[in-house]
Amino acid sequence: MAHPVGEAFGHGRPTLVTYLMAGCPDRAVSLASVRAAAASGADLIELGVPYGDPLADGPTIVEAARTARAAAPGGFGLAETLVLAAELATDPEMPPIVLMTYLNPMLRFGLDLLAREAAGAGVAGFIVPDLPVDSPFASRWTRAAHAEGLSTVFLAAPTSTDERLAAVALASTGFIYCVSSVGVTGERATLSKELPSLVGRVRAARGAATTPIAVGFGISTPEQAAQVAAIADGVVVGSLIVKQQGDPERVRELVAALAVAVHEAT
């Protein structure tokens, strides 16, 4: 039985979302690293699906995807990630799992079939960076996802108009993913000075709705995570963790530090 995405935001404090790449550096170690993150304070697991053309991802995640795909004899993609997610979801202490993937693998799989298979695997939702909220594929996917109880998280970018932000806020279920800066994922030395303004615009765009807002892209230290947690409902950390993914104990230590920073932010 999948834990719904909303459960991750129901603790009365900021939420820590940890991104890890499925299958990297191999299947067994990726399982161990996800379990380490869950055990040390992650409230929501964002499980990356290895893909050969990851448009929103920076070099760390691109390399992790390449490693995962090369490590498995028959390759490692969406189908293999669903099997891995199903194994993780058997643990009653595992937080909700959302998959981060791209539209092409979803279309090849079949949207209706994917929604059914994902729900059966214990997946709680999807983040699809190259799925615009006004795309005809978006309406097809959200119908299929809704029928299976899956959340769909859309991205709110710094370049989005207020009208676009309103559409993203309306369509997003589970949470709204607020992209901290223009560009791809990856660690950055400093946070954008415009981030508080962007979060405020997203809050205004969602109106009376209470859909949580989580901020990701470029968060590189526990200190930065705490800064973001002070202005948003959740913090997404990816590349920083993926760099350590080959060592589950190091993942455990890093996520524990991030959890303290995020959960105690004021």
Task: Give the chain's end-to-end CA distance (angstroms, integer).
Answer: 33
Catalytic residue selected from 7, 43, 46, 80: 46
Catalytic residue selected from 57, 80, 117, 233: 57
User: In the annotation, is 53 catalytic?
Assistant: no
User: In the annotation, is 46 catalytic?
Assistant: yes
Q: Name the nearest CA neighbour of 253 among 238, 265, 245.
A: 245
Contact indicator for 203, 215 with CB cutoff of 8 Å = no
Q: Which two tokens stand for residue 232?
A: 């948003």
Sheet with 234-237, side-by-side order of all strands: 151-153, 125-127, 97-100, 44-48, 15-21, 234-237, 213-216, 176-179, 155-156
List the Cα angle 27/81/26 in 5-degree steps. Answer: 15
List the Cα angle 65/191/47 in 5-degree steps. Answer: 25
How far are the Cα atoms of 9, 61, 125 from residue 58, in angstroms, in the given order? Answer: 27, 6, 23
Residues annotated as catalytic are 46, 57
